[in-house]
Amino acid sequence: MKARVKAIYRNLKQPVDAIVLSNSTDPHIDMSFFYATGLTDGLFEGCTAWLFPDGRCEIVTSALEEEAAKKSGLLLHIFRNRDERLAAMKALAKGVRRIGFNASEITQKAYAELVKLAPRARMADVSEAVMRARLVKDDAEIELIRTACGIASRSLEQTLPFIRAGRTESEVAAELVYAMQKNGATGPAFRTIVGAGPNSAEPHYTAGPREIRRGDLIVIDFGALFKMYHSDVTRTVVVGPASPEQREMYDTVRRAQDAAMEKFRPGVKGKTVDAAARRLIDATKYKGRFIHGLGHSIGLATHDGGGLNSVSDIVLKPSMVFTNEPGIYVSGFGGVRIEDDVLVTRGGPQVLSTASRDLISVG
Ligand SMILES: [Mn+2]
């Protein structure tokens, strides 16, 4: 994982002598800890990763996580209690004049503790460098995301026959999550969204007791977690034959997604990718109904750093992975969203999520 540590250092604006990635109690876990150490399981509450400019990484780990930590092959400092943890950290901080920390993830409590351990060191927020490094995936990360995408795509296809009038949104969500885990997922990447009928017009609805009815549009937004890497896919299906209005909404979103897809190339700015889809939708009667950004980076988190939206200055680079997820939402009627996970390559966009993008009629 030397290359990942060096990638963080390469992205720094001002030099530091050490970077500390600090976990508190779940859910206050910095996924950058897993990026830097290469570990893909364990929880590592209260543990820290210490990164040095030569690419070295050492882990201060609880005895509880020792077996998991060994898989990293990195130097371990094992603690059994708070005093041993602080002593190990103090030893690592010795002689370090400038300490980098990830302000996006460290808790105020852990930060205060760190300052106390090294009272003479200057503290520097390196969150920007950590984020920039994580945006560009290495081959191992791409393979894990590809697997997570494959599991999600296959699981949706297996779940489609289950979806019909009379089932509840919750039942569909449960069936999909069950399929993902049976297909090898570590778990769901996030709370599964199954929004039927008017609920489909609410982008971040989850899933509830509503019974699916004939004529409903159903937005299904879901993802598989595979060894800590996320996929994030959305498909919209219709129960029974689609009405002309539903078909028009769907085709508009699909054309918007295609227009954006063309822009997933190295050197293009995030806002340019977003604009391609937005311009298309805003030129139709659905103007103003695309009410969120086009997409976001995925990786160790579902929202892994940079967003693709109307103000995004991110410049796309090879080996970045983003979602491409335009949508149209009409209150009281329903919504359509189509979301795929896209790997940026020199040769153009590579779509990692393989489920069919056609409007599927179920039930
Ligand atoms: Mn998404």
Q: Report pLDDT digits (tens) over 312-347.
A: 999 999 999 999 999 999 999 999 999 999 999 999
Q: What is the pLDDT of residue 1?
A: 79
93 has a pLDDT exceeding 90 = yes
Which sequence spans correspond to the domains of the chain? 2-135, 139-362
Ligand 1 centroid distance, CA of 124 (Å): 31
Q: How far is the CA of 222 from the centre of ligand 1 (A)?
A: 9
Please tell me the distance between residue 165's alpha carbon and the centre of ligand 1 in angstroms: 26
pLDDT of residue 118: 94
Using the mean position of ligand 1's atoms as its centre, give its distance from the Cα of residue 269 in Å. 19
| Phi and psi angles of residue 289, each rounded to the nearest 5 degrees, phi first | -95, 0
Q: Which amino acid is at 101?
A: F
Q: State the architecture of 139-362 in CATH terms.
A: Alpha-Beta Complex (3.90)
CATH topology of domain 2-135: Creatine Amidinohydrolase; Chain A, domain 1 (3.40.350)
Rounded Cα–Cα distance for residues 77 and 85 (Å): 8
* Residue 305: pLDDT over 90: no
Residues 300 and 35 sit within 8 Å (Cβ to Cβ): yes
Give the whole-angstrom CA distance, residue 222 versus residue 146: 15
Q: What is the pLDDT of residues 5-24, one digit of tens each?
A: 999 999 999 999 999 999 99
d(CA 220, CA 188): 13
Amino acid symbol at 64: L
Mean pLDDT confidence for 58-78: 97
CA of 232 to the centre of ligand 1 (A): 5
CA of 338 to the centre of ligand 1 (A): 10
Q: How far apart are CA 17 and CA 60, in angstroms?
A: 17
For strand 98-101 and strand 18-22, is the pairing parallel, antiparallel, or unpaired? parallel
Distance 42 CA to ligand 1 centre (A): 25
Confidence of residue 79 (pLDDT cuts 50, 70, 90): very high
Q: What is the pLDDT of residue 363?
A: 87
Q: Average pLDDT for residues 49-74, to the nearest whole number?
A: 97
Distance 73 CA to ligand 1 centre (A): 34
Does the pLDDT at position 357 exceed 90?
A: yes
Q: Is it the case that residue 3 has pLDDT exceeding 90? A: yes
